[in-house]
Structure 1
Amino acid sequence: MSDKTVKLIASDLLDFDPENPRFPRTVNEGPIDKLIERMAREERIIELMESIGQQGYFPGEPLVAVKNGERYIVAEGNRRLAAIKLLNGQLPIPPRLKSLQDAKEQAKEHPSSIPCLVFDEHAEVLHYLGYRHITGVKAWKPLAKARYLNRLRQQPMYSLLSQDELLVALAREIGSKPYYVGQMLTSLAVLEYASDRDFFGIQRIDPERLDFTVLSTALSYENIWEFVGLANRKDIDAPALLEKEAGELFTWLYAQREDNDNKPVVRESRELDKLAKVVASPDALAELREGQDLDSAFRLTAGPSEALDQALNDANKALQEVFKLLGKYLHPSISHQSAADDVADLARSIRNLIRDRREDAR
């Protein structure tokens, strides 16, 4: 990289990276106004517009670009490029983003040329990005790292390697372990499989806000990766994914439920251990599919008899707590009495059902 020089390039010759690791494919390949809206919402582009508009562009932070015929693709600095293109009118400002229009109108500076560190080949710039964002101080989030690894593995230098050799080479590139690289690429393959199917039509799921770490952690459990049809957790092309089961996994991990405080079935990552046990048990899996309640399904992982023991013990403890509270609270209301009547009726029904089934079994 020492022989690279910074060049001043007209902003209208600079294009956004169509494979930006920080954005999903739907944003990179979609309409430009959607990209701008995403940057305005999550990338604080308004602050860049205000800063550049008042102070001009700081030449000590060149963009990183790669030649693309007579034009250039910006591999590093797409937010800054967007801010400049919005300031000088090369990009239309979506009408609903009035704050961007205000920043443009108040700007004193409208840079038309930008300093760029130019690379000749994509492979060169990928190595630079890896140094900067994987092993360097400006680390990307896990999903961006996975997209970067996927882009890197498609370079010709890796085309003749076996999968094991590929994972070793990529791990060496980013200073990590082969199993980690394999797990990241496999999780990305599953995510893209879901994206290609519009996330299976699942309601109340926001594709742009999915926590990739939850998915990659889930797929580190053997029971879960087997459940969705993966050969192992390094099945980086995932050719045999099961659509129904993959859809169920995304529902349990990400679909918000109104009856669960707008949280999914798996409310936090530490519950993935429960999910792994549930999908390995036919009885527990059937219960989860029917009731969408992880705790109820998990009780069945030890078997129906043990689940009944646990449920009765839990009910007994809860009623003991009620009894203690009554010793402190001397004025129960009519609603308390009604609730107690319901509990008594249900307890009698449970007792009678258990008694009847025991007699039938004699």
Structure 2
Amino acid sequence: MSRITNETFYTVMTKLFDRLPNRYVGTHLLDFDKDNQRFTSWRSERTTEPFDPFTVLCEMHGIRSLIAAIVSGAYFEAEPLLVVPTGSRYTVLDGNRRLAAVRAILDHERYAHYYPDWLHKPTSELLESLTQIPVIIVADRQLVWPLLAQRHGMGTENWDSYTRASFFHRVTDSYLVSDYQVANYLGIGRWEFNRFMTPYRLIAAAEKAGIWNRRQMERKTIYYSLLAKTLQDERIQRFVGMESLDGFAAAALNLANVGRLLNWLHGNKEKGLRPALSYVDSDIRKLGRVVESDEAMRYLDEHGWLERAYQMAVQQKFPINSDLHKVHNKLGDMLATVPDYEVPYEGEGLAKQVKRAADDLYERVLKKRIKNGG
């Protein structure tokens, strides 16, 4: 496949945004797109297990509200589904949620568990109207990426950050559209686009190498914004083998550490570990300290308790911090022996204040040492 040139790119965009003719196609001829971007959070590129798009759409993407909207106000025909021919059938490139809602309505008795209890049954007229729905037929999925980018990448129906990153990765990697062209179309700088894509590229590299498996996540979906924010810490950048957020050489990545970081952020069901970060801003600062200590990282790998790993990371450098944390832990142990209804708020507040004072004191002293060249 040849790389898309600027001339071809703008020609395609012009044709896409001309008014395209609509057709009505039998609902029974429409298939869900298993490669649709909505499913990227649920599927790894390495996954070979059977995958049911209809079930995921109904259970994970708020299909009940869409069912209610169609049953109460009829199908919105002014926004056709975007489809591509597949033999004698059609694959839905955009509008998979609407197709799932229509399928659930047409067979509402079978899918009663997806149908809102309070909603009246669909009328025979509505059911008849849903047997054929309007579509726009396009010849090739790769030619419609500007339309999808406009609608879901920067419009009112935005995908989540990870889904958008996956979509733009497909555009640059499979459709051979340059980073510059995508960034220019989105109206942002190339460096900003690459920064946005960096977390996705880390995840993809870890999965491709078999270092990390999203199926083991304790979280339900990939917390993309948390990874993006964590990577702003220069210590964590060094930990995973990145020179900056503007891009990285895949060969220079420390993939083992990338996998460790993803486990810390998303948990690991196989190891019984919950996500280590709770309070994003302060926790990222602490995680930055942890990756400077082998002992602390090993503890975090095994137990997933960031507070304790952080204490281990700083106790040799700053004994007073360790002493204050001991006070906090002791207060916590004492409060744990008191019945819940008798625990004084003052006691809980004192324990938290001691811990915060320990962390803040260490950070202030460290900044002063760095300023003085120590």
TM-score (norm 2): 0.67
**Count of paired positions:** 308
Which residue of structure 2 lines up, in the alignment, with residue 76 of structure 1?
Answer: 94
1:141 aligns with 2:164: no
Alignment of structure 1 residues 258-277 onto 2, 5 Å? 264-270=275-281, 271-277=283-289
Cα RMSD, aligned residues only: 4.1
Q: Deviations over 1:118-145 (max 9, x none)?
A: 3333233210111122232222221121
Instruction: Determine if the alignment matches structure 1 residue 98 to structure 2 residue 117.
Output: no
1:333-344 residue pairs with structure 2 within 5 A? Answer: none
CA separation of 1:8/1:103 partners in 2, compared to 1, >3 Å: closer, same or farther? Answer: farther
Taking the aligned partners of 2:30 and 2:121, their CA distance within structure 1 comes to 24
Alignment pair present for 1:228 and 2:244: no
Contact 1:10 1:113 in 2 (8 A): yes
Number of the residue aligned with 1:162: none
Asked if residue 249 in structure 1 is aligned to residue 261 in structure 2, the reply is yes
**1:23 pairs with one of 39, 42, 45:** 39
For the 8 Å contact 1:186–1:238, the answer to whether it is kept is: no
Q: Distance in 2 between matches of 1:81 and 1:189?
A: 31
Which shifted more, 308-317 or 229-238? Answer: 229-238
Question: CA separation in 2, counterparts of 1:321 and 1:73?
Answer: 58
Output the CA distance in 2 between the equivalents of 1:49 and 1:320. 53
Residue in 1 that maps onto 2:218: 205
2:60 aligns with 42
1:86 to 91, 100, 104: 104
In the alignment, is the contact (CA less than 8 A) between 1:53 and 1:103 conserved in 2?
Answer: no
Q: CA deviation at 1:157?
A: 5.0
Partner of 1:152 in structure 2?
171
Shift of the alpha carbon at 1:64? Answer: 2.2
- CA offsets 1:271-296 (integer angstroms, 9 cap, x no match): 11221232134454355446643234
Greater Rg over alpha carbons, structure = 1
Match runs of 1:143-222 below 5 Å: 143-158=162-177, 166-194=178-206, 197=210, 199-200=212-213, 205-206=218-219, 208-222=220-234
Could you tell me which runs of 5 or more consecutive residues in structure 2 were left unpaired when the two chains were aligned.
1-16, 334-342, 344-374
- Between the aligned partners of 2:317 and 2:122, the Cα distance in structure 1 is 72
Query: How far apart, CA to CA, are the structure 2 residues paired with 1:6 and 1:238?
Result: 44
1:56-75 paired onto structure 2 within 5 Å: 56-75=74-93
Letter paired with 2:75: Y
| AA partner of residue 107 (structure 1) | P
User: What is the aligned partner in structure 1 of residue 133 from structure 2?
Assistant: 114
How many Å separate the matches in 1 of 2:183 and 2:330? Answer: 55
* Displacement after TM superposition at 1:20 (Å): 1.6
Match of 2:307 in 1: 295
Q: What amino acid does structure 2 have at the position aligned with 1:139?
A: N
Distance 2:249 2:94 in 1: 27
Which structure has the higher relative contact order (CA within 8 Å, separation 6+)?
2
Q: For the Cα contact (< 8 Å) 2:41–2:162, is it kept in 1?
A: no
Q: Distance in 2 between matches of 1:43 and 1:115?
A: 22
The residue number in structure 1 matching 2:145 is: 126
Of 276, 287, 290, 1:278 maps to 290
Aligned to 2:13: none
8 Å contact 1:179–1:234 — kept in the other structure? yes
- CA contact 2:41–2:221 (8 Å) conserved in 1: no
What letter corresponds to residue 41 of structure 1 in structure 2?
E
**How far apart are 1:304 and its partner, in Å?**
0.7
Identity of matched residues, %:
23
**2:278 partner amino acid:** R
User: Which residues of 2 match residues 297-316 of structure 1 at below 5 A?
Assistant: 297-299=309-311, 301=313, 304-306=316-318, 308-315=319-326
Give the aligned partner of residue 329 of structure 1: none
Is contact 1:183–1:220 with CA below 8 Å preserved after alignment?
no
Change (3 A) 1:204 1:72: closer
Match of 1:12 among 17, 28, 33: 28
Aligned to 1:98, the other structure's residue is in SS state coil
- SS of 2:75's partner is coil
Deviations 1:39-89 (A, max 9, x none): 222322233334434654221222222344544332221111112233345
Q: 1:240 to 1:82 in 2, by over 3 A?
A: farther
Residues 19 and 222 of structure 1: CA distance in aligned 2, closer, same or farther (over 3 Å): farther
SS at match of 1:304: coil
For the residues of structure 1 that align with 2:30 and 2:248, how far apart are their CA atoms?
33
Q: Deviations over 1:215-239 (max 9, x none)?
A: 2222333332332345654557845
Report the secondary structure of 1:22's partner residue.
helix
